[in-house]
Amino acid sequence: MDKTSLSRRCFLKWSALLGTSAITIPALGDWIDPSGPLGEPPPVGTTSAAVSSSQDAAFRVIRAGCPSHNCGGRCLLRITVQDGKILRIETDDRPGDTIADPQLRACIRGRAYRKRQYHPDRLQYPLKRTGRRGEGKFERVSWDEALEKMAAELRRVKTVHGNSALFIPYGTGSYSQTNGRQTAQRLLNLFGGSLGSYNNYSWACMANATSTVYGTNVTGNQRQDWVHAKIILMWGWNPAEMRDGTNTEFFLRKARENGARLICLDPRHTLSAASLADEWIPIRPGTDAAMMSAMAYVMIKEGLIDKAFVKTHCLGFDETQMPTGTKGAESYQDYILGTRDRKPKTPEWAEAITGIPRDTIARIAREYATQKPGVLYQGYGMQRRAYGEQVVRAGCVLAAITGNVGLPGGWAGGMGLQAPDGGPVWNVFPTGPNPVKTSIPTFLWTEAVLRGKEMGPEQGVRGADKLDNNIKLIYAVASNILVNQHADINRTVRMLRDESLVEFIAVQDNFLTPSARFADLVLPACTQFETWGVADGWKYGDEVFLNPPIVDPPFETKSDYRICAEIAERLGFGPAYTEGRTERDWVDWSLDQFRKTRFSGLPTLAEMEKQNQGVFTNPVTAPAVALGDFRRDPEKFPLSTPSGKIEIFSPALQALNKPETVPAVPKYIQEWESPFGPEAKTYPLQALGHHTLARVHSTMEKVDWLEEAFPQRLFINPVDAAARGLQNADSARVFNARGEMIIPCRITPRIRPGVVAVPQGAWWAPDEKGIDHGGSINVLTSSRWTPLAFGNAQHTIMVEVKKA
Amino acid sequence: MVNQWAFYVNSDACSGCKTCQVACKDKNELAAGVHWRKVTEVTGGSWEKKNGLWVSTVAAYHLSMACCHCLEPVCAVSCSTKSIWKREDGIVFIDGSRCTRCRRCETVCPYGAIRYDPVSTYMTKCDFCVDDLALGLAPACVAACPNRALDFGDFEVLKKKYGPSNSVFPLPDPAEFKPALVLKPHRHAEFIGTHHPEIGNWAEI
């Protein structure tokens, strides 16, 4: 087909969308209207900033940080306000836009924020439950009644059960010091404490496993260094959709322009794959460690290992460097070559598991081992899976045996916090010490509700041999973990409906989220546009953002800090909570803390206000390299692993004596729900809950500008759709033994056959039968945790899809 | 003096994040469904089973498109009330007060750039942020792009800077409609254009 007819066909097709089937091109004629007001158009849209500023005193343009959610970026906004209302949101326009100090341009979510800010569903008043728990029936109460109820329940549960029965669940809806769960943590710590928690829902395996190899999670170079890389393996990494640092795409593109080859390994052909990658490798979910093992096999067999580096810097690669006291144990090379299990981890072996042709696996192994220096960047999705610790360790080992550790243009793999100091500080708001010294892995909070008193170290309990309480009171602030974001929603809500288990639930948020529907008391928080706040950069950011109040809190909403301060007042320790400080005073105080850590040149609050820049940046002109000292002199600068070396073989993991689930060298382990297991007969499709630009996890739900841009859909390959008689946009039932949803499907070749995806975070919307119509992936996910990190494995699920 | 304002679109750098689309909506207060700028997803390639394995040649690119402010705008020609005209600076403009809502302009535009606005109840489209231009500022979409994939300027200057107009699926031949658009095709555009190209996101554009 020639180009002209192709374009004509497309043109007709595009026009067909607009409701016409035949196009006639009018003759060109007198289309310049002499009577038209040439050059003097009527005003269109919002009046421009500078035009009005000279005319209207109530008009302001404020530069501020984009509200701090758990989005993976921190960006700058320019907010136009008139008469107490936000008219327009723009972004960073600082001149220069250099690689050392690029503009911090906001993404689609920041630019759509007015629609969240002025959403008709925003909570306005405190609410008290009137129906059964979870039924969603509430009545308005006064702040006085709400605060009194909150204080009374805290006192009652403390008296009856003790402080360890109080719990503040994980929540990432606000991160601006004076808004967010830390404000409640300070409250309860002053009240005698609450059950602690560690880990998060993002990177539990990453954080726990990277350190078993390197003794640190600071394994990343500053991003400006990527221009030195010759190859970048974006392994399960999708910064275009989950950001992972403002400008991460910008730096990757600079690397491309500098000649790096970028390869994207992902079951989805992501926006990152489209915009950044030279090649897409559609690997089967949960099998990354198998491909990594086969790459190691090729490197060993073809002599591509950096033997000198392995000899001086690593432990347990082969039998010549096994740690003392582990004689006879299987080395990494033993595992790869199949010395013990008689299963060499060949590309052929991995092909059957990963679905990637053996030649491709071998080629990528050769490219990564010879095109040095290179980056193997591991996304976090692949570790929110069964045995997620293994893939983290396997990636670190590939970086180590190719000698890519501690080099400009290299990357040590794993967690990848940035050199030299691990990056941002995030929360400086002082929560104070928690008098309750026991803590649980955050993902196991439902276990602590159901059987806390039976939980001990085997369930990840720290600080005690057994918990002395089940969780009896939950105070969720900026958290939708109670229902929507935790695994296995149907299980969780059965538990929450039983008022004999958790006796009192308070949820404090901007909206009546699915979690808030299960509250006994709903406390309306204001947004970050309505109070003072401050935040520093994301994982790789080198900035401090000021978040001054842009507009007043509407209705009866208040900042999280203010609400907690008023509860503290009722509990009798108001002054201890506030120390006499307002939100603005705490921002001032927080800026001092930031100044003491990474931002020595940070201006004072008064100066920042006056300058109206919204941000202070540390330009990166000489990007730091992680583990550089260790590379240069491993004797003088040993790692903080027990051996001081890169522990390919971990004696500490061996000592756990769980070789099947936590082996001492990284292995591929078949997942507990797998296309290779018996469950695949009933539920043959793997389901992923990827990040979408339509939301930040469950924040920004119901913003129409975002919903229309990235509608909530089941993404399914044409092969799988055809096998089920599905047409594009058909309603599809997605189900397994744990739950069911009905949502429209999007048939797309941009996902591997055998895999479907439903972006995580959409709000659970059950019908009377309990079938979800909101597209909330957590009706399908499992609450089973990973063996070492006690992390969430929410991406390891099998489902079936049928036409609804 | 600019004779013809034009957009530059680097499809190779576009991730399809649609920040431009929403920045445009925020500036122009556009309701859901009214896209003055929209991002089209184009997929190509296929899946084939070889030796028992699913092997992919799938690739994709994104096209961020608004009104191309064509040199010879068919929309203006089609408008019986002369509500659409071309300014001296090349911007194609709609005067809603004269619009009869016959929607002929919508059907003749090969770029799907003209949209009925249910709020104002007339036909609307990209006005190149003329008010911002007058202040020396970039159009909202250009200033927004996190990937720095958009630019704007005088058409002749842009062509010198970035190359010719170009066309990729599903855009018509630029010789046919003379858009004031400079497009850098995606690195896989040629492959995709010859391997079952399809629009992947009809419902969103």
With CA atoms as reference, the chain B residue closest to A706 would be B22
* A750 contacts on B by Cβ (under 8 Å): 43, 58, 60, 200
Per-residue pLDDT reduced to its tens digit, B121-145 = 999 999 999 999 999 999 999 999 9
* A88 contacts on B by Cβ (under 8 Å): 26-27
How far is B139 from B158, CA to CA, in rounded Å? Answer: 15
- The verdict on B167 touching A (C-beta cutoff 8 Å) is yes
Per-residue pLDDT reduced to its tens digit, A342-375 = 999 999 999 999 999 999 999 999 999 999 999 9
- Residue B163 phi/psi, 5° resolution? 105, -170
Q: Which of residues 118-147 of B touch A (CB under 8 A)?
A: 127, 130-132, 135, 137, 140, 143-147
pLDDT at A177: 96
The Cα of B174 is separated from the nearest Cα of chain A by a number of Å equal to 10
What angle (nearest 5°) sits at the alpha carbon of residue A567, between those of residues A564 and A572? 125
With CA atoms as reference, the chain B residue closest to A353 would be B53
Contact (CB, 8 A) for A648 and A330? no
pLDDT at A24: 38
A48 vs B32, B56, B132: nearest CB: B132
* A42 contacts on B by Cβ (under 8 Å): 95-97
Name A522's bridge partners: A127, A507
Which of A4, A5, A8, A10 should be substituted to probe chain B, the one whose Cβ sees the most B Cβ atoms within 10 Å? A10
Look up residue A76 and give its amino acid: L
pLDDT at A38: 35
pLDDT at A18: 39
The Cα of B17 is separated from the nearest Cα of chain A by a number of Å equal to 7
The Cα of B106 is separated from the nearest Cα of chain A by a number of Å equal to 7
pLDDT at A11: 41
Contact (CB, 8 A) for A426 and A175? yes
Considering chain A, what percentage of its residues have pLDDT values greater than 90? 91
Model confidence at A36, in pLDDT bands (50, 70, 90)? very low
User: Strand A533-536's sheet: what is its strand order?
Assistant: A533-536, A543-547, A615-617
What pTM was estimated for this model as a whole?
A: 0.94
A41 vs B72, B93, B112: nearest CB: B93
Q: Let me know how many helices (H) and strands (E) chain A has, helices first.
A: 26, 26
User: What residue has token string 């499809």?
Assistant: B11
Subunit contact B172:A10, Cβ cutoff 8 A: yes
- The verdict on B28 touching A (C-beta cutoff 8 Å) is yes
Region for A747 from its dihedrals, namely left if φ exceeds 0, alpha if ψ lies in -120 to 50, beta otherwise: beta
The Cα of B170 is separated from the nearest Cα of chain A by a number of Å equal to 5
pLDDT at A56: 56
* A707 contacts on B by Cβ (under 8 Å): 32
How far is A652 from B119, CA to CA, in rounded Å? Answer: 66
Subunit contact B84:A31, Cβ cutoff 8 A: yes
Q: How far apart are the first and last CA of chain B?
A: 34
* A272 contacts on B by Cβ (under 8 Å): 15
Contact (CB, 8 A) for A540 and A188? no
What number is the average pLDDT over the span A70-85?
A: 96
Subunit contact A355:B53, Cβ cutoff 8 A: yes
Which of B195, B110, B41, B70 is closest to A270 using CA atoms? B41
B135 vs A35, A48, A271: nearest CB: A48
What number is the average pLDDT over the span A179-201?
A: 98
Long-range CB contact pairs, A302-310, < 8 A, 24+: A302/A366, A304/A365, A304/A366, A304/A369, A304/A370, A304/A402, A305/A369, A305/A401, A305/A402, A306/A401, A306/A402, A306/A403, A308/A403, A309/A400, A309/A401, A309/A403, A309/A405, A309/A631, A310/A400, A310/A401, A310/A403
B61 vs A108, A274, A705: nearest CB: A274
Quick check: A42 pLDDT over 70?
no
Subunit contact A7:B53, Cβ cutoff 8 A: no
Q: Which of residues 70-109 of B touch A (CB under 8 A)?
A: 72-74, 76-78, 82, 84-89, 91, 93, 95-97, 106-109
pLDDT at B165: 80
Per-residue pLDDT reduced to its tens digit, A570-628 = 999 999 999 999 999 999 999 999 999 999 999 999 999 999 999 999 999 999 999 99
With CA atoms as reference, the chain A residue closest to B194 would be A1
The SS3 of residue A189 is helix
pLDDT at A676: 98
* A47 contacts on B by Cβ (under 8 Å): 131
pLDDT at A577: 98
Name A617's bridge partners: A543
* A458, two tokens: 């085997």
Angle, helices A288-301/A358-370, rounded to nearest 10 degrees: 70
Model confidence at B46, in pLDDT bands (50, 70, 90)? very high
Which of B14, B15, B64, B165 should be substituted to probe chain A, the one whose Cβ sees the most A Cβ atoms within 10 Å? B15
User: What residue has token string 């009866």?
Assistant: A556
With CA atoms as reference, the chain A residue closest to B185 would be A275
Per-residue pLDDT reduced to its tens digit, A155-184 = 999 999 999 999 999 999 999 999 999 999
* B68 contacts on A by Cβ (under 8 Å): none
* A720, two tokens: 């799988």
The Cα of A27 is separated from the nearest Cα of chain B by a number of Å equal to 7
Which of B115, B143, B189 is closest to B27 using CA atoms? B143
CB-count burial class (<10 Å; 0-12, 13-18, 19+) for A1: exposed
User: What residue has token string 């929410």?
Assistant: A794
Average of per-residue pLDDT values in chain A: 93
Which of A35, A81, A108, A283 should be substituted to probe chain B, the one whose Cβ sees the most B Cβ atoms within 10 Å? A108
Give one DSSP letter per residue of A421-453, joined into a string: T-S-----S-----S---EEEGGGHHHHHHHGG
Q: How far apart are the first and last CA of chain A?
A: 39
Q: By mean pLDDT, which of A193-207, A419-433, A457-471 is the weakest?
A: A419-433
Sequence-ordered list of residues with C-beta below 8 angstroms from that of B74, at least 6 positions apart, any chain: A25, A26, B108, B109, B110, B177
Model confidence at A735, in pLDDT bands (50, 70, 90)? very high
How far is A213 from A208, CA to CA, in rounded Å? Answer: 10
Subunit contact A708:B56, Cβ cutoff 8 A: no
How far is A735 from B154, CA to CA, in rounded Å? Answer: 54
Look up residue A686 and give its amino acid: Q
With CA atoms as reference, the chain A residue closest to B168 would be A7
User: What residue has token string 């920042």?
Assistant: A608
* A711 contacts on B by Cβ (under 8 Å): 203-204
Give one DSSP letter per residue of A309-376, joined into a string: HHHHHEESSSGGGPPTT-TTPPPHHHHHHTTTTS----HHHHHHHH---HHHHHHHHHHHHHS-SEEE
User: How far is C-alpha A328 from the chain's CA centre?
Assistant: 41
The SS3 of residue A188 is helix
Q: By mean pLDDT, which of A152-166, A313-327, A649-663, A781-795 is the weakest?
A: A313-327
How far is B23 from A92, CA to CA, in rounded Å? Answer: 13
Contact (CB, 8 A) for A345 and A292? no
* B84 contacts on A by Cβ (under 8 Å): 31
- What's the number of CA atoms in the CB half-sphere (13 Å) around residue A771? 11
* A14 contacts on B by Cβ (under 8 Å): 110-112, 170, 199
Sequence-ordered list of residues with C-beta below 8 angstroms from that of A500, at least 6 positions apart, any chain: none
Subunit contact A351:B53, Cβ cutoff 8 A: yes
Which of B37, B56, B87 should be substituted to probe chain A, the one whose Cβ sees the most A Cβ atoms within 10 Å? B56
- Residue A365 phi/psi, 5° resolution? -60, -45
How far is B40 from B201, CA to CA, in rounded Å? Answer: 7
Contact (CB, 8 A) for A316 and A332? yes
Give one DSSP letter per residue of chain B, joined into a string: --S-EEEEEETTT-----HHHHHHHHHHTPPTT--SSEEEEEEE--EEEETTEEEE--EEEEEEE-----SS-HHHHH-TT--EEE-TTS-EEE-GGG-----HHHHH-TT---EEETTTTEEE---TTHHHHHTTPPPHHHHH-TT--EEEEEHHHHHHHH------TTSPPHHHH--SEEEE--TTHHHHHTS--EES-GGG-
Look up residue A149 and give its amino acid: K
B76 vs A27, A31, A709: nearest CB: A31
Quick check: A47 pLDDT over 60?
no
* B199 contacts on A by Cβ (under 8 Å): 13-14
Contact (CB, 8 A) for A224 and A615? no
Subunit contact B18:A710, Cβ cutoff 8 A: yes
Quick check: A33 pLDDT over 70?
no
What number is the average pLDDT over the span A213-217?
A: 98
Handedness of CA A466, A471, A472, A476 (dihedral sign): positive
Which of B4, B18, B55 should be substituted to probe chain A, the one whose Cβ sees the most A Cβ atoms within 10 Å? B18
Quick check: A25 pLDDT over 60?
no
Q: Please count the residue pairs, one from chain A and one from chain B, whose beta carbons lie less than 8 angstroms apart.
A: 246
The Cα of B44 is separated from the nearest Cα of chain A by a number of Å equal to 8
Quick check: A26 pLDDT over 90?
no
* A684 contacts on B by Cβ (under 8 Å): none
pLDDT at A54: 44
- What's the number of CA atoms in the CB half-sphere (13 Å) around residue A345? 30
B43 vs A4, A351, A749: nearest CB: A749
- Residue A282 phi/psi, 5° resolution? -85, 75
Strands A739-747 and A731-736: antiparallel
User: What residue has token string 């296309």?
Assistant: A675
* B167 contacts on A by Cβ (under 8 Å): 3, 7
User: What residue has token string 């929507």?
Assistant: A484
How far is A527 from A282, CA to CA, in rounded Å? Answer: 40
